[in-house]
Chains A and B, each alone.
Chain A
Amino acid sequence: MNKKSGFLKFIHKFVFWFVKITAAPAMLLFRPKVLYPDGKKYKIRGGALLISNHITSFDPLYMQFVIWHRNHHFICAKEFYDKPARAFLFDCFQCIPVDRDNTGIGTMREIASHLKAGELVCMFPEGHVNLAEGGDPELQEFKSGMVLIALMGGAPIIPMVMKRRKTILSRLEAAVGEPVDVASFYGKRPTVAEIEEITKMLQEKTRELREALEA
């Protein structure tokens, strides 16, 4: 069992690096235009939770393009693991399946362990692809789970926004905001109400990023 899982892990890593290396020229050619609204490029080092708006199914790929120098883990809905081929692909790209209807504390611990290990975890706090038609849709309400994950993992949250590409050949435009240390916000363990306040503040920061990107 262990031998098999070890072999599978090797295959997953092999596929991941094969795709990443062979896709490097395309990543260079279509490298995104990244805006840092404060004029300061934040160095994303160590454990961090990267949050973004979710406007297309390719957003996880685009996030890799924006923060290209890091390996990403993606929080992904468990229902997308329904087909073996898809599940294999998601495993190769270090996705973490989450049961949205019955989130287990074990899953939360797993995500937190990646953050504690200094890794980058990505998620879409709107919870699903925002399918509103025309241009770049307004942000939908963020879920508070991201704050809980960041608190458990002792990691900052980095807001990010991506803009819909006009054509398939146009370069992606994205804006990355200042990392937010949610643990230091109230100087104590926050209550549920305070977690909700932090969620609203992060949504506001993401909205401001979106406006800066539109300007």
Chain B
Amino acid sequence: MDNTITTSWPLLSVLVWLPLLGSAGVLLAGNQRPSMARWLALLVAAATLLLSLQLWLGFDSATAAMQFSEMKAWIPAFKVNYHLGVDGFSMPLILLTTIFGVIVIVAGWEVIKERVHQYMAAFLMLQAALTGVFAALDGMLFYVFFEAMLVPMFLLIGVWGGPNRVYAAVKFFLYTFLGSVFMLIGLIYLYLQSGTFEILSWHDLPLTMTQQKWIFLGMLAAFAVKIPMWPVHTWLPDAHVEAPTGGSIVLAAVMLKVGGYGFIRFSLPITPDASAMLDWVVIGLSLIAVVYIGFVALVQTDMKKLIAYSSITHMGFVTLGLFIAFSIYRGSPEGFGAAMGVEGAMMQMISHGFISGALFFVVGVLYDRMHTRDIADYGGVANTMPWFAMFAVLFFMANSGLPGTSGFVGEFMVILASFNASLWIAFFAAFTLIMGAAYNLWLVKRVFFGEVRNDNVARLTDINSREVLILTVLALAVLIIGLYPQPLLNVMHVSVEHLLQQITTTKII
């Protein structure tokens, strides 16, 4: 089957290369002209965002085939192609990337005062790499982008980070890098088996159970670290704590989704039999993420760490939703609920993008004013920053899965889906209702409510128009997705069906 629909206009390439060229331009602006660097970066990011809307408008949700495809030979000796394309999974994630491309630049606008050009350039580079990861249809190209996104993030943490930034940056780098080495071995093995780096060809490649198991584990190492899953999650809180606000926003909002996307693009369709055999591992780890990490989030004293841990529990729903399909199919061949699990996982990824991005921005707003993230240093912020408190309460409520916000959609769908597999899986997943409310509301109570706790809080000034703008955009996104998720669900249906067909077809001959 030829999965390629070619367009006359290389939109995806533009989305990848425009930010990269832009970042070169921003670097050229130099350290002496920060304002020019900012405006140029904003211009590039905004142009990319506008162009990316064409992906949404021109997307055909009736087909699971790759769209906006581009294909050129890149390294013919190894049959490595420059192959880009999107389906119902990657298209929304690319949009998420381009939206946050603009948001982080505005978020760092006047906050970053040193090496502005490098900071802005790093984000544009990061955006290019992330778009590339989601668009790549060639295994090697994917790997290149996958590794490339580490560099700007490493720099962002290492240069603009907090006091312990070197430790965090190295930990972040080593974890992800070690994970991806196993993936690379898997990719090369697949190449040797199939003679191509085409991911779509790998989807149809017959593999024995033993082969599948090893490939599955290799991929799992990379994606489990990236998303992250317990017990390879400990790099995330450290990275978040040390990263500058913008770095945390992109890390949480977009970068973690690469892990979830990896499962969708690689593990599930390439090794469906191994995924079915080892699904209990992923489900078990997902439930640990929901319950165990929920408890850990509760006792955090650092706001960023708390949100980082809450990210891990939310990503637990992504892996749960993706892997619940197998046990649903084991129970009943018609597989009622399997699609809801996968779509719930996708919704959870997109929603978490907006909510966690907003929450890290919220912490950033406080940090810019108080230079502390310690919950104990706050108290009664609502007295001095009433408008800010309104936004913050909304986002923390969304983070605890309040219906009407996007945070509800994915969790609801995944819990409903997992009930079809097992009462107990749904039971432990639904535990998030209690834990989520506990850690979010307790933070809100300690930071925002109560009497003004100290002079520093008393001196706080409410959000400025730049901050209002960002928070409003994110709040609207969270509410619109929560009240009307159908347009988003609609673009993924056919791709989800296609994926379910792939995972229910054995590759063992």
**Are A and B associated in one complex?**
no
